[in-house]
Amino acid sequence: MPSPLEAVTTYFHAKDGNRPFLMRQAFAEDIRLEMIVKTEAISFPSSANGLAEIEEVLVRRIATDFENVYTFGLARPTAAHRRHFPCHWLVAMSARNGGAVRVGSGRYDWYFSPDAPGLVEKLVITIDVMQVLPADELGSVMNWVGRLPYPWCTPGEVIAGMPRIEALAPVERYLKEARPIPPEN
């Protein structure tokens, strides 16, 4: 069974690399997904249940609509996170249709199965901020995220290399306020 670090890292590679088969190495068969979307800049269903639906929503649909996808966890799970791992995240990607760039941040809450240690039984994804930038910003955004240590980095590392684009200010504010989140008991 994977560790929480291995499971979450596998998810990033599955989603960003359009590899739905990898989701089976991270998620329990009866995985539950909850989405809390606090922005109009992107839409997702509010929930999905089971591995097949999760693969569709989080991998295939993303790959159909977006390319150049980079997702970063902004904290790494430790031994204290065997059951619950909360962390902030950053994503950058471009639309396949028209090339608009999206950069956003939010929170993941990963819940690991006690019956299948290391596999995720529930995932809550909160999208707090999502900014849409014109296609001509693709180079500066991708050069920035391409230099970050993938898929794990700190908010400070993200902010340090962030291009000075006015539309990124809400993401920068979010990251400056991001603090470590303790796991639930």
pLDDT of residue 2: 83
Is pLDDT at 118 greater than 90 in this prediction? no
Burial class (CB in 10 A: 0-12, 13-18, 19+), 108: buried
pLDDT of residue 25: 95
pLDDT of residue 106: 98
Per-residue pLDDT tens over the stretch 13-31? 999 999 999 999 999 999 9
CA distance 139 to 163: 10
Per-residue pLDDT tens over the stretch 155-168? 999 999 999 999 99
This prediction's pTM: 0.95
Token pair of 51 as six digits: 């591995």
pLDDT of residue 146: 98
